[in-house]
Structure 1
Amino acid sequence: MSITLSSQSEMFAGLFLKFLYIYIYILVVFLTFPVSIVQEYERAVIFRLGRLLGGAKGPGLFWIIPCVDTFRKVDLRTVSFDIPPQEVLTKDSVTIMVDAVVYYRIFNPTVSITKVENANHATQMLAQTTLRNMLGTKSLADILKDREEMSEQMEAVLYAASKNWGIKVERVELKDVKLPTTLQRAMAAEAEATRDARAKVIAAEGEMKASHALKEAANVMSESPSALQLRYMQTLTEIASERNSTIVFPLPIDLISNFMKR
């Protein structure tokens, strides 16, 4: 009888330890795996058995049921990406290479997960096609002159298209517009020709003014012989001051006689 009671107590003790181990294991699983943390700049979108579970969670701790719930974290910070150089045919049939940078952020985490497969990739592809399509309707002169206006128009188009994905495009900047080498040379030659023409016009205007001044001076001297004689004496004085040697000039007798009369 005592042997039977001893075996039963050992059996119960074994079962108790087994249940205790199972309980501890389950407790550890529920205390570790279901807990997740999202940062201040993140949100978690949770799915339970494939269905969306409420709105986005966070920041802080949240619980999920293992093997039942899945979640995806979404970064809410503003991010940027470069649009690789795009070959664009302008309105006036000039082929150029244009690149840009786009700044955007996710403002609706749930929509960005449920409405589009990859919001970041979709935004990049949309930016590339928008850049080509928009600049293709502009002339080269407009693109070079109104780059800021082009950026604002592209920002508005991207925002209107991406807001349905929970994305807000905050800024677009055209970085560089590369022209073909032949066109660069032609524009440089045109600019040089323009500068030369402007210089010639300025020189011609100066000569015209000088000729008018000489004409007026000639008219004054023709009306007053003494003015011509004074100019002659002034020229002799200027020549003499530039040289140390003695220079003999013929002096008209009528010039001396005119001064003697005065």
Structure 2
Amino acid sequence: MQTSMTMMSTTSGPKPLSIVDQRRATIVPINPPTEEDVGDKSSTCGTLLIFLSVALVILTLPFSLFVCFKVVQEYERAVIFRLGRLMQGGAKGPGIFFILPCIDSYARVDLRTRTYDVPPQEVLTKDSVTVSVDAVVYYRVSNATVSIANVENAHHSTRLLAQTTLRNTMGTRHLHEILSERVSISGSMQVQLDEATDAWGIKVERVEIKDVRLPVQLQRAMAAEAEAAREARAKVIAAEGEQKASKALREASEVIGGSPAALQLRYLQTLSTISAEKNSTIVFPLPIDLITYFLKTNDENTKQNAKAAAAAIARTTVEAIAQQQQSTAM
């Protein structure tokens, strides 16, 4: 009984720790440094470096002034970094500004408007027509600090975005819209680019579509269609003119037929027109009523009288024509 109780008490006691467990128990947990601790250390180190830089400037006077003072033009801004961080106050310029050697660096940013010719882009329109479109983009840097800190190369990024925006915009339009609505398409592209590049400190001022080149076969088909349309319009105009002319002639014939005096006046006008021409041969038109009278009459005396009257009319007319020609020659 005592032996069994001794064995039970021995087995029920705590187990001894292994060597690995003992080493783990001796390890003290290390907490990672917080941002405040890192900030305090970096600020302390930064203050020390600034003090050393100022001391270097003082010791190397006046030669250090050529390194510390910089000038930017009216159209430029300087974005200054001190120990890798943007300095407060934004971009400097225009004019003169001061930097500390060894710890300050700066980047010049040009604020003038730039022009980018978008290369011709092969685009498949909404109605499955392949066209080549190129454009011009006018943009400038509106925020120098953002253009340096938020994007690696603001100008290159803007140009790539202009190419993709041109392809995407043209791909959603029909061919007739691209040819006839260039102004609205340019405005839509300008709004899209301006919104996308605002986070890069870029302002897109204007977008212009330069040229839309169509395939040769499509150009020929459109030219043939335009030629057919022009011919159709010409035929319609000619038909309308003939209709108006025939109507005017009909009205004139009605007026002349109802008035013998008007017919005689028209006859004299015709003779005057013939006499005005410088021809050796003069065609003398006989009145149709006189010829009809010759054909109908059977009396010899009447025929002779009619012939004499016709000869008298002819002489009178020839004399009038001669006088008309003399007056014209004078």
* TM-score between both structures, scaled by the size of structure 2: 0.62
CA distance in 2, matches of 1:106, 1:183: 41
1:84 is displaced (CA, Å) by 1.2
Higher relative contact order (CA 8 A, sep 6+): 1
Write the distance in 1 (CA, Å) between the matches of 2:87 and 2:200.
19
Which one has a larger percent strand, Structure 1 or Structure 2? 1
Which structure has the greater CA radius of gyration?
2
The number of residue pairs the alignment matches comes to 233
Partner of 2:82: 48
C-alpha distance after superposition, 1:167-212 (max 9, x if no partner): 1111111112222222222222111111111111111222333444
Q: Which of 166, 172, 177 matches 2:201?
A: 166
Residues 240, 247 of structure 1: 8 Å contact kept: no
Among 128, 146, 152, the alignment partner of 1:117 is: 152
Moved more, 155-164 or 50-59: 50-59
Note if 1:206 corresponds to 2:246. Answer: no
Between 136-145 and 23-32, report the one with greater CA deviation: 23-32
C-alpha separation between the residues in 1 aligned to 2:131 and 2:58? 68
Q: What corresponds to 1:178 in structure 2?
A: 213
Distance change in 2, residues 1:198/1:66 (3 Å): same
Q: Secondary structure at the match of 1:65?
A: coil
Q: Tell me which residue corresponds to 2:131.
A: 96
What secondary structure, in the 3-state scheme, does the structure 2 residue paired with 1:138 have? coil
Q: CA deviation at 1:246?
A: 5.6
Deviation at residue 123 of structure 1 after TM alignment: 0.6
Q: Which residue of 1 aligns with 2:293?
A: 253
Aligned mates of 2:100, 2:127 — CA distance in 1 = 62
Residue 163 to residue 233, structure 1, CA distance change in 2 (3 Å)? closer
Tell me how far 1:35 sits from its aligned partner. 2.0
Residues 153-162 or 65-74, more deviating: 65-74
The equivalent residue for 2:67 is: 33
Give the 3 Å change call, closer, same or farther, for CA 132–251 of structure 1 in structure 2. Answer: same
2:233 and 2:196 mapped to 1: Cα distance? 49
Q: CA deviation at 1:108?
A: 0.9
Q: Which residue of structure 1 lines up, in the alignment, with residue 301 of structure 2?
A: none
Partner of 1:3: none
Offset of residue 231 of structure 1: 5.1
CA–CA distance in structure 1, aligned partners of residues 108 and 101 of structure 2? 17
Distance in structure 2 (CA, Å) of the matches to 1:29 and 1:70: 19
Residues 86-129 of structure 1, C-alpha deviations (whole Å, 9 max, x = no match) = 11222222221111111111111111001100000011111111
**Residues 56 and 207 of structure 1: CA distance in aligned 2, closer, same or farther (over 3 Å):** same
Partner of 2:270: 238
Q: Which amino acid aligns with 2:114?
A: V
Q: Is the 8 A contact 1:98 1:174 kept in 2?
A: yes
Q: Once superposed, what is the RMSD of the aligned Cα atoms?
A: 3.3
Closer, same or farther in 2 for the Cα pair 1:73/1:256, shift >3 Å? farther
Distance across 1 between alignment mates of 2:282 and 2:109: 96
- TM value normalised by structure 1: 0.76
State how far apart, in whole Å, the 2-side matches of 1:31 and 1:240 are: 105
Task: Tell me: CA distance 1:57–1:238, structure 2 relative to 1, closer, same or farther (3 Å).
Answer: same
What residue ranges of structure 2 are gaps of 5+ in the alignment? 1-55, 298-330
- Counterpart of 1:75 in structure 2: which amino acid? D
Checking the alignment, whether the CA contact within 8 Å between 2:57 and 2:64 is kept in structure 1 is no
How far the C-alpha of 1:216 sits from its partner, in A, is: 5.7
